[in-house]
């Protein structure tokens, strides 16, 4: 088919010329397969752009040779549109006409689309928005300007293609394959949704199925929307877009409805397709909730979500039993009922037990819904109970799954804050019901219990419990406070445990307890400082210490002085090495200054005969160098070494 070679300055590029029209139509291998394949995309796109689907389908068939063209197969390009699509294209040889009408062939770029939909949309945009210099160039194809698909085809004559028979060819394809059936359409007019058949007549008083949805159009041709309507033998709901609700729950006006596969509301008793529960629906289709219903002589109760209750249920303060289908049963008497993993006891009057009950050979607790408590703690009237996997309360001594020991009285309550002697062994059960383990202060006395909670008779020995160490004296009681253990000193906290790796302050004195709980004695490097500890373990503070022939000064926090310090309220200067010892009878260089420390560690001041030379020391003890000093009216010159000359 020969087309005009038109340069489009907008988004489309050039239209191609090329495909043999008559041969494309005549040699369709599977036209119905082609139509069925493209119909969804064609309907969707033409509806969006208000064009005729019959025209676009006929064009796609003619231009692509019913989908047999290399371009449609390789690039989903059904209209021979040149250019690129999101940067994608294919190169193909195509025929062109020059300005004098002469035919020639060139290789050209043609748009490559991800799918047929984008090709349909590109062509629809061309017809709807026209050319850059004339947006209404193809306005003859618009629905508002053409009465049907064949008349829209006339709008392409002399515009889309130069062939004088182009429109007739499209019309022949439309007629032969009944393509106008694609033009039946929904339209919004004056705020109403309406449906028009391909002949242009409006649908009235009828159902229409289109686009996978069902619509009802009234006597005026308006679709029912956002409403429930009773059609006599059934009720149904239409969404705001006019589509009938099917196979789903409808919540409308504060009520719930189930629309089946035909869109008909359920009425009466139904086992729901999803969930398997039973629900009852009134004659208007609304679901019954929070109410009793008798159906065919059987009683049901429907809860707040509309589900028929099953099993044991408490309704308005009274217990009832329903079978798996929700039908009310006569309450059992003097028997257990197991339902959906829960156990219930019905007494002689058919009433369900709730609360704590002695069942004869065991004690059980029943929740407010009547179900028996199992594998859980229960607190009743300030007492605690453990119900095992059978729902029986523990009685006697038990090692709980968390590892602690508890005792339960004959009524099942857990023993707390009480001494108990069991099988000749003594236990103390604390406020949480756990048997005491280790050393505990009970009343005014301390007691030791082994890992099983049994009170021990250990005396004059160490006991380690849960990572803590205790010393039990001759009476079996733990040491508290500071104690000389013979070869070492230790401190014991108020719970009897030995202090380790920590400072302890007692009566204004400080002690360091090492990893064994032994107090430091003597000189110790504490990491960031040096301290000295007396034989009683207390830390030396604000004092001189002489040890091993060396002198040390410890400040108010017990840290040894390091470096140069003004001592004795500023009366002398001393220097202390990194180990804290005081420098004596030696030279010391600090920050470029030289000092002489005498035999008591005091820095010289004033003029001194140093043996082989004379030096002068300033008031801070530093040696005078490279300067002159007047001493008692006499001038002395000192060289770079501080020697007088």
The DSSP secondary structure of 512-575, one letter per residue, reads EE-TTSPBP-EEEE-SSSEEEE-TTSPBP-SEEEEETTEEEEE-TTSPBP-EEEEETTTTEEEE
Q: Are 84 and 90 in contact (CB under 8 A)?
A: no
Q: Are 227 and 205 in contact (CB under 8 A)?
A: no
Which DSSP helix (H) or strand (E) runs through 634?
A: strand 634-638
The DSSP secondary structure of 200-265, one letter per residue, reads SPBP-SEEEEETTEEEEE-TTSPBP-SEEEE-SS-EEEE-TTSPBP-SEEEEETTEEEEE-TTSPB
Which DSSP helix (H) or strand (E) runs through 121?
A: helix 116-129
Tens of pLDDT, residues 164-206: 899 999 999 999 998 988 887 787 888 899 998 877 789 999 9
Instruction: Classify residue 225 by burial, with Cβ atoms within 10 Å: 0-12, 13-18, 19+.
Output: middle
Say how far apart CA 98 and CA 162 lie, in whole Å: 14
Cβ neighbours of 364 (radius 10 Å)? 23
Contacts of 411 (CB under 8 A, 6+ apart): 358, 363
Q: What's the distance, Cα to Cα, between the start and end of the chain in Å? A: 123
Phi, psi of 378 (to 5 degrees): -130, 130
Tens of pLDDT, residues 569-586: 999 999 999 999 999 999
Instruction: Classify residue 63 by burial, with Cβ atoms within 10 Å: 0-12, 13-18, 19+.
Output: buried
13 pLDDT exceeds 50? no
Q: Give all strands (DSSP E) within 65-184, no chain letters.
A: 89-97, 103-111
Tens of pLDDT, residues 115-133: 999 999 999 999 999 999 9
Paired tokens of 516: 């064994």
Tens of pLDDT, residues 145-163: 998 899 999 999 888 877 7
2 pLDDT exceeds 50? no
Average pLDDT over residues 69-92: 95
Tell me the percentage of the chain whose pLDDT exceeds 90: 80
Mean pLDDT in the chain? 92
At residue 459, the pLDDT reads: 87
At residue 326, the pLDDT reads: 97
3 pLDDT exceeds 50? no
**Confidence category of residue 233, pLDDT binned at 50, 70, 90:** very high
Instruction: Kindly tell me the sign of the dihedral angle through the C-alpha atoms of 491, 494, 495, 496.
Output: positive
**Confidence category of residue 645, pLDDT binned at 50, 70, 90:** very high
Say how far apart CA 521 and CA 511 lie, in whole Å: 9
Tens of pLDDT, residues 325-354: 999 999 999 999 998 899 999 999 999 999
Paired tokens of 304: 């707040």
527 alpha-carbon distance from chain centroid: 46
Angle between helices 116-129 and 31-49 (to 10 degrees): 50
**Confidence category of residue 28, pLDDT binned at 50, 70, 90:** low
Sole residue written with tokens 């193809």: 138
CATH of the domain spanning 353-435: 2.10.270.10
Q: What ranges in 10-78 are assigned the alpha helix state H? A: 21-26, 31-49, 53-64, 70-75
454 pLDDT exceeds 70? yes
Q: Give all strands (DSSP E) within 405-474, no chain letters.
A: 405-408, 418-422, 425-429, 438-442, 445-449, 461-465, 468-472
Does the domain formed by 186-269 have CATH 2.10.270.10?
Answer: yes
Say how far apart CA 633 and CA 645 lie, in whole Å: 17
Paired tokens of 437: 């383990």
Tens of pLDDT, residues 520-563: 999 999 999 999 999 999 999 999 999 999 999 999 999 999 99
Question: What are the contacts of 551-556 at 24+ separation with CB within 8 A?
Answer: 551/581, 551/582, 551/584, 551/601, 552/523, 552/576, 552/580, 552/581, 552/582, 553/580, 553/582
431 pLDDT exceeds 70? yes
38 pLDDT exceeds 60? yes
Tens of pLDDT, residues 81-91: 999 999 999 99
Tens of pLDDT, residues 260-304: 999 999 999 999 988 889 999 999 999 999 999 999 999 999 999
User: Could you check whether 21-183 and 438-519 share the same CATH topology?
Assistant: no
Q: Are 635 and 607 in contact (CB under 8 A)?
A: no
Tell me the Ramachandran region of residue 633: left when phi exceeds 0, alpha when psi lies from -120 to 50, beta otherwise: left
371 pLDDT exceeds 90? yes
**Confidence category of residue 94, pLDDT binned at 50, 70, 90:** confident
**Confidence category of residue 106, pLDDT binned at 50, 70, 90:** very high
Instruction: Kindly tell me the sign of the dihedral angle through the C-alpha atoms of 410, 414, 417, 422.
Output: positive
Tens of pLDDT, residues 372-405: 999 999 999 999 999 999 999 999 999 999 999 9
At residue 47, the pLDDT reads: 85
Cβ neighbours of 509 (radius 10 Å)? 15
Residues paired with residue 551 on neighbouring β-strands, in sequence order: 546
Average pLDDT over residues 310-322: 93
Q: Spelled out in words, what is the top-level CATH class assigned to the domain 438-519? A: mainly beta
Q: Are 138 and 155 in contact (CB under 8 A)?
A: yes
Residues paired with residue 216 on neighbouring β-strands, in sequence order: 207
Paired tokens of 352: 């369900």
**Confidence category of residue 445, pLDDT binned at 50, 70, 90:** confident
Q: CATH for 21-183, among 1.10.530.10, 2.40.10.120, 3.30.1370.10, 3.90.1650.10?
A: 1.10.530.10
305 pLDDT exceeds 90? yes
**Confidence category of residue 18, pLDDT binned at 50, 70, 90:** very low
Q: Spelled out in words, what is the top-level CATH class assigned to the domain 561-638? A: mainly beta
Tens of pLDDT, residues 589-643: 999 999 999 999 999 999 999 999 999 999 999 999 999 999 999 999 999 999 9
Q: Are 331 and 350 in contact (CB under 8 A)?
A: yes
Q: Which of 17-21, 357-361, 404-408 has the lowest mean pLDDT?
A: 17-21
Q: Which of 13-22, 352-361, 451-460 has the lowest mean pLDDT?
A: 13-22
312 pLDDT exceeds 80? yes
Say how far apart CA 30 and CA 9 lie, in whole Å: 37
Average pLDDT over residues 206-226: 93
Domain map of the chain by residue range?
A: 21-183, 186-269, 353-435, 438-519, 561-638
């Amino acid at each position: 088919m020969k087309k005009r070679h038109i340069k489009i300055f907008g988004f489309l590029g050039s239209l191609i010329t090329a495909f043999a029209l008559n041969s494309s139509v005549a040699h369709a291998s599977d036209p119905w397969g082609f139509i069925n394949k493209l119909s969804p995309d064609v309907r969707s796109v033409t509806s969006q752009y208000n064009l005729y689907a019959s025209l676009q389908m006929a064009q796609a068939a003619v231009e692509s040779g019913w989908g047999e063209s290399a371009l449609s197969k390789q690039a989903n390009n059904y209209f021979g549109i040149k250019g690129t699509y999101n940067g994608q294209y294919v190169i193909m040889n195509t025929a062109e006409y020059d300005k004098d009408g002469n035919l020639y062939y060139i290789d050209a770029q043609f748009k490559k689309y991800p799918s047929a939909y984008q090709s349909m949309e590109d062509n629809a945009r061309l017809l709807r928005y026209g050319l850059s210099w004339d947006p209404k160039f193809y306005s003859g194809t618009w629905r508002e300007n053409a009465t049907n698909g064949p008349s829209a085809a006339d709008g392409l004559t002399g515009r889309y293609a130069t062939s004088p028979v182009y429109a007739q060819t499209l019309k022949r394809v439309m007629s032969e394959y009944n393509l106008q059936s694609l033009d039946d359409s929904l339209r919004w007019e004056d705020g109403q949704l309406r449906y028009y058949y391909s002949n242009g007549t409006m649908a009235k008083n009828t159902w229409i199925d289109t686009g996978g949805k069902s619509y009802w159009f009234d006597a005026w041709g308006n679709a029912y929307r956002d409403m429930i309507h009773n059609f006599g033998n059934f009720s149904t709901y239409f969404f705001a877009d006019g589509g009938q609700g099917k196979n789903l729950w409808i919540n409308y006006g504060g009520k719930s409805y189930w629309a089946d596969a035909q869109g008909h509301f359920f009425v009466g008793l139904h086992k729901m397709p999803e969930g398997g529960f039973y629900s009852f629906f009134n004659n208007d289709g609304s679901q019954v909730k929070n109410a009793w219903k008798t159906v065919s002589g059987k009683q049901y109760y429907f809860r707040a979500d509309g589900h028929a209750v099953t099993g044991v249920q408490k309704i308005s303060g009274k217990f009832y039993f329903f079978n798996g289908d929700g039908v009310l049963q006569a309450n059992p008497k003097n028997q257990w009922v197991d339902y959906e993993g829960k156990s219930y006891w019905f007494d002689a009057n058919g009433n369900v037990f709730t609360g704590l009950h002695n069942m004869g050979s065991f004690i059980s607790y029943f929740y407010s819904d009547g179900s028996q408590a199992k594998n859980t703690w229960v607190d009743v009237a300030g007492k605690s109970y453990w119900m095992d996997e059978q729902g029986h309360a523990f009685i006697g001594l038990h090692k709980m799954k968390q590892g602690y020991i508890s005792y339960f009285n004959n009524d099942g309550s857990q023993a707390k804050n009480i001494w108990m002697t069991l099988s000749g062994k003594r236990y103390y059960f604390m406020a949480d019901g756990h048997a005491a383990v280790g050393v505990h202060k009970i009343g005014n006395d301390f007691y030791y219990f082994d890992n099983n909670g049994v009170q021990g008779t250990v005396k004059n020995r160490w006991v380690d419990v849960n990572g803590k160490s205790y010393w039990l004296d001759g009476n079996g009681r733990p040491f508290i406070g500071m104690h000389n253990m013979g070869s070492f000193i230790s401190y014991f906290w108020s719970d009897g445990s030995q202090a380790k790796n920590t400072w302890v302050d007692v009566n204004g004195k400080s002690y360091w307890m090492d990893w064994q709980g032994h107090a430091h004695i003597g000189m110790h490097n504490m990491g960031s400082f040096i301290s000295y500890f007396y034989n009683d373990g207390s830390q030396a503070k604000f004092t001189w210490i002489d040890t091993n022939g060396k002198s040390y000064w410890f400040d108010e926090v017990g840290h040894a002085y390091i470096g140069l310090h003004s001592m004795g309220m500023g009366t002398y200067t001393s220097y202390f090495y990194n180990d804290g010892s005081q420098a004596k009878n030696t030279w010391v260089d600090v920050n470029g200054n030289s000092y002489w420390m005498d035999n008591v560690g005091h820095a010289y001041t004033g003029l001194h005969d140093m043996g082989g030379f004379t030096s002068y020391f300033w008031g801070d003890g530093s040696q005078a160098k490279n300067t002159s000093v007047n001493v008692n009216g006499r001038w002395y010159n000192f060289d770079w070494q501080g020697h007088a000359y």
